[in-house]
Structure formats: structure tokens, C-alpha cells
A and B are shown apart, each in its own frame.
Chain A
Amino acid sequence: MDPAFLTIAELNRFYDRRELSPVEVTRSLLDRIAAYDGKLHSFIRVTPEVALAEAQAAERELAAGRRRGPLHGIPYALKDIVETAGIPTTGHSKLYCDYVPAADAHLVTLLKAGGAVLMGKLATWEFALGGPSWDLPWPPARNPWNPDYLPGGSSSGAGAAVAAGFVPGAVGTDTGGSIRGPAAVCGIAGLKPTYGRVSRRGVFPNTFTMDHCGPLTRSAEDVALFMQVIAGFDAEDLGSEDTPVPDYAAALTGSIKSLRLGLIEHWYAHGAHPDLPSAMSAAIEVLRGLGAIVEPLQLSSLRDYTDCKTTISIAELYAIHEKDLKTRPRDFGRILRNRVLPGALIGAEDYVQALRWRTVLAREQAMALKQFDALLTAGALGVADPADPDLPDRLVSLPSITMPFSVGGLPALAIPCGFGRAEGLPLSLQIAAAPMAEPTVLRIAHAYQQATDWHRRHPDLA
């Protein structure tokens, strides 16, 4: 049996029935990566020795009846800004190409304790912002649906690796959309959890108050299983919330009857891919057919949310990279350098006004969530971008449909809802809810995925 596109939930059932083993699955996926990643570049570094050792340990424990949790024996990979003890963590940058951390990021400690199997470190936009870049030590990742296209970013390798069937789950990070964007254009599930739900300790910072770590997987059910392992309070992370971790899988009841969903259609009504409105309408009809009540909701514009988020981000990013920008500017990729340098010229008053604006915009979302159980919009405004080194940088010029829920710190999940007809590339919808209401988001997404099969489609790499 080829485990390439089995979900985490399915792998667990096969492990329980002894029809597959962690070592078999790990070897099969390592072979798949060797066969196909040469044209997708989703991995910066594959770690076969670590993977096989962890798979063997997991297999022994599972055979002895000692299951640690839902990721025991499950292969996964990490965006290469997540620190791994003894394994280089490069940020996909010349600046850190030789950096070997002494300690694991906190979430890696949790994954190890959960018996998960580390397959390697994944491509990313440079320091989770500078991309897609063509002037870095490693090439940018490509989209498995069509390698002439990109897999989004900044968790580019994570999106590509899961969509390609190299790993059933990966850890990415999301500041303005860097989990949801790749999930959207790669046709998989990607969750930006509530700010503070998953520890950021040991993860290269992008924007201190908007960085989130979260999973990319093939289904909402798998997101629930992954979150069960990585969610939780970390006293060493100043942004971490000390809130109990619920049983995420128990939330997947399949019923969304009478849930009230606020549809933010004006965000994608203009300038989006021509097939997106009809794909979203079809998704809404599925949700209504399942008993949800979907009503329109108006929030501030994507332009407002993008400007607020980007002003805050660029100022914080400049502070993080100031020393290297002043001493070794040539070692940055061109895109990262030109996105971060403007932070030197953003005044303190601009930064504080943007922070004040953030409070206003976040309160707008909070008011909406007194009326609705969840918010619904598109996961991306279009399909994947072509792999074109001459594509102009649109960080500031193009409003982003993922930035609003970054500004609000809300849990937000992107899942597939169709394909663009011209390109044959995935389209996506996005579900958000109140802080710490990941169970509600996952319940809605899981119900949708029980009634549709977009998440079961996968690219043919041959």
C-alpha cells in the first residue's frame, strides 16, 4: 500500500491494525522524496538517519502497546525557521546557512515527546518574509500541482511537501498568511491558531505580536490531531496564553446545524480569480445544506488590514535584522532586504498609530463574533503565482485576504474548495472564529470535508 496520501488519522488506524508500520511508512516517504523532490525543492535538508531512528523507536513502543498520542510514528517536517538541536536551521538564508542550534524549539520538544518522526527541514521564504527569492543558497519551492507555479509562502516548503505526499503533516508559521497562503494554493489544510496557542520559543521571529506556529495537513481532522500535540502554554514565551488545551478531535462531531457564519464576501468580490466567487458560493450552499446559517458581514477593507499589519511588521522586522542590515546587507536576498529596510524609516509615531489601529480593527472582529459563531471568506484571492523571477514585489501593493485574522489574532483555517478551470490549480475557503475557538473552526471544516472531496484530490507527480 502506498502511504503517500494517507492522512494522519488513516495512518493511526493502519498502525493500530498492524497493517502498516512507522518504519515502512518512513522508508516509503523517504523514497518518494528522493524520487520527486528534485523538481519541487520542498526540502532544504532531509534527515533520513533521524527519521529512521525515530520511526524504529516508535515502532517498538507501538508494538508494546505504548501509544504516546495521535502523532506517534507519524512523519512530519519543519519549516526551516524552527530550531532543531544539532540540525542546521538556516532561515533559507546565507546569513544563517551554517547555524546549528543547541536546543530544540519548544514545539519540537513536544513533537519528540509525542513520538513523531522528523523527516527534515523545509524550504521557506527567507526568514519567513523574503520571497519568493531566486538569489538564495537554495532555490524556491515549487507547486506540486504544476511545478511552473509556486506553492505560496512563506511556509512554501511545508505547503509543497504535504501536497506532494512527502509528509502527512508539517509545521509552518503564519504572521500575515504564511500557513494559510500555501495551504490555499496547494489544496491542503493550514491552520493559523489563536495568537499564543502554540509556543513561538525557538522559532526565528518575524513580527513578535503576530507570529503564530501551526500545522499544514491534508484535512481538518489531521489539523485537530496535530494541534493536540503542539498546543499549550509555555511560560518562556511572553505571548503564550495559559488556557487549557481542549480535545480537538472530540470537537469533530460532524454537526454544524444552526451555527451562524458571517460571510465576508466584499473581501473577494472584486479582483479575485474568476472562478473563486462560484467556488465560494458552492461551498456556502454545502454549509447551508448542513444546517449552518450563513449571513453577510461587512468589516473594514483588506487595504486597511494590510496597511495596519505591514506597518507593524516592517518596524519589528527592521529591529530584528538591524545589525545584519548595517554590517552585511549584501548577504540578504534582494526581496527580504528591500522589504525590511523601509522599517528604518518608519517613525515611532507611525508604529504606535498602527498599533492603536490594530486595537480598533481587532475590536471590530470581536463585535462580529458576538453575532456569529464563525467568520467565512476565501483562503486566497487567486490560484498560485507562476514561478517567475521577474514577478514584481507586491507585499505592499496587493491587499491580502489572510492579514485580517492575523491582525485580530483569531484562529483561521484554509481548506480547499475547488479548482481554477484555466490553470487546474486549487482554490480555498477560510474559516475563522473567536480566540481559542479552534474547535469551532475545525468542526465546521470537518463537516464541510465530510460532504465534499476536494481534500482527497492530489497531484500526480509522475
Chain B
Amino acid sequence: MTRRAGLDLPEELMQQFIAAWPAFEAMVRRIPRNLDRAAEPAHSYRPLRIMRG
């Protein structure tokens, strides 16, 4: 999976990452997938704000 993501880590760094990953994988599995359709992402785009910058 890391190689598909373009990461070619040295072996010892890869082993550290493999040890750390399961906790993150479990976290991502806890994200709810059945939210109400009206729950928009918190980053909704605001073109006026871009114009002011």
C-alpha cells in the first residue's frame, strides 16, 4: 500500500511505520459512514473569500 502511495521507505523506517499503522487504521474505521445527506464537509468553498485575498 505504501509503495502504491509512492513511498519507497528504507526497511527500518518501513518497519516503524508498519508498527504505527494499525492504530491509525482502527481510527479511520471508526469514522461514521451513515451521516445525514445534509451533513456537508466543513470546507465548503466560498468564492467571495478567494476574491478578497
Which 4 pairs show the lowest CB-CB distances between chains A and B? A355-B41, A342-B24, A344-B5, A338-B20
**Chain A to chain B contacts (Cβ below 8 Å), 25 pairs:** A235-B53, A236-B53, A238-B49, A307-B30, A310-B27, A311-B28, A314-B24, A326-B8, A329-B10, A330-B10, A334-B16, A337-B16, A341-B17, A341-B20, A341-B21, A344-B7, A345-B24, A353-B31, A355-B41, A356-B39, A357-B31, A357-B32, A359-B39, A359-B42, A360-B36
In the bound complex, residues from chain B placing their C-beta under 8 Å from that of A338 are: 16-17, 19-20
**CB <8 Å contact, B16 and A357:** no
Closest to B32 in A: A357
Per-residue interface assignment for chain A, residues 326 to 350, with 1 indicating a CB less than 8 Å from any chain B CB and 0 otherwise:
1001100010011101101110001
Closest to A349 in B: B33
Instruction: Known contacts A325-B7, A337-B16; decide if A355 and B43 are in contact (CB<8 Å).
Output: yes
Q: A342–B32 Cα gap in the complex (Å)? A: 19
Q: A344–B17 Cα gap in the complex (Å)? A: 11
Q: Main SS of chain B's interface residues?
A: loop
In the bound complex, residues from chain B placing their C-beta under 8 Å from that of A341 are: 2, 7, 9, 17, 20-21
In the bound complex, residues from chain B placing their C-beta under 8 Å from that of A310 are: 27
Instruction: Known contacts A326-B6, A344-B5; decide if A307 and B27 are in contact (CB<8 Å).
Output: yes
Cβ of A14 to closest chain B Cβ, rounded Å? 42
Q: A356–B27 Cα gap in the complex (Å)? A: 16
Closest to A350 in B: B28
In the bound complex, residues from chain B placing their C-beta under 8 Å from that of A334 are: 16
Residues of A within 8 A of B (CB): 209, 235-238, 242, 303, 307-308, 310-311, 314, 325-326, 329-330, 334, 337-339, 341-342, 344-346, 350, 352-360, 362, 393, 396-397
In the bound complex, residues from chain B placing their C-beta under 8 Å from that of A356 are: 35, 39-42
Q: Please give the number of chain B residues whose Cβ is less than 8 angstroms from any Cβ of chain A in the complex.
A: 35
**CB <8 Å contact, B41 and A359:** yes
Cβ of A269 to closest chain B Cβ, rounded Å? 21
In the bound complex, residues from chain B placing their C-beta under 8 Å from that of A238 are: 49-50, 53
Q: A303–B7 Cα gap in the complex (Å)? A: 30
**CB <8 Å contact, A311 and B27:** yes
Cβ of B16 to closest chain A Cβ, rounded Å? 6
Most buried by B among A341, A362, A396: A341
Residues of B within 8 A of A (CB): 1-2, 5-10, 13, 16-17, 19-21, 23-28, 30-33, 35-36, 39-43, 49-50, 52-53
Instruction: Known contacts A311-B31, A393-B20; decide if A357 and B39 are in contact (CB<8 Å).
Output: yes
**CB <8 Å contact, B17 and A358:** no
Closest to B41 in A: A355
**CB <8 Å contact, B6 and A362:** no
Q: A209–B49 Cα gap in the complex (Å)? A: 14
**CB <8 Å contact, A342 and B21:** yes
**CB <8 Å contact, A353 and B32:** yes
In the bound complex, residues from chain A placing their C-beta under 8 Å from that of B35 are: 353, 356-357, 360
Given contacts A339-B20, A355-B43, 15 further A-B pairs with CB under 8 A are: A235-B52, A238-B50, A310-B27, A311-B27, A326-B6, A326-B8, A330-B13, A337-B17, A341-B17, A342-B25, A344-B6, A356-B39, A356-B41, A358-B42, A360-B36
In the bound complex, residues from chain B placing their C-beta under 8 Å from that of A353 are: 31-33, 35
Closest to A303 in B: B30
Q: A393–B23 Cα gap in the complex (Å)? A: 10
Cβ of A354 to closest chain B Cβ, rounded Å? 5
Instruction: Known contacts A350-B31, A359-B40; decide if A345 and B20 are in contact (CB<8 Å).
Output: no
Cβ of A122 to closest chain B Cβ, rounded Å? 28
Cβ of B31 to closest chain A Cβ, rounded Å? 5
In the bound complex, residues from chain A placing their C-beta under 8 Å from that of B28 are: 311, 346, 350
In the bound complex, residues from chain A placing their C-beta under 8 Å from that of B13 are: 329-330, 337
In the bound complex, residues from chain A placing their C-beta under 8 Å from that of B52 are: 235, 242
Cβ of B11 to closest chain A Cβ, rounded Å? 12
Cβ of A336 to closest chain B Cβ, rounded Å? 11
Q: A350–B27 Cα gap in the complex (Å)? A: 10
Instruction: Known contacts A338-B20, A355-B41, A393-B20; decide if A307 and B31 are in contact (CB<8 Å).
Output: yes
Cβ of A176 to closest chain B Cβ, rounded Å? 13
Cβ of B48 to closest chain A Cβ, rounded Å? 11
Cβ of B52 to closest chain A Cβ, rounded Å? 5
**CB <8 Å contact, A209 and B2:** no
Most buried by B among A242, A307, A397: A307
Q: A341–B41 Cα gap in the complex (Å)? A: 23
Cβ of A301 to closest chain B Cβ, rounded Å? 11
Instruction: Known contacts A350-B31, A353-B33, A357-B35; decide if A396 and B40 are in contact (CB<8 Å).
Output: no
Instruction: Known contacts A353-B35, A355-B42, A357-B31; decide if A329 and B9 are in contact (CB<8 Å).
Output: yes
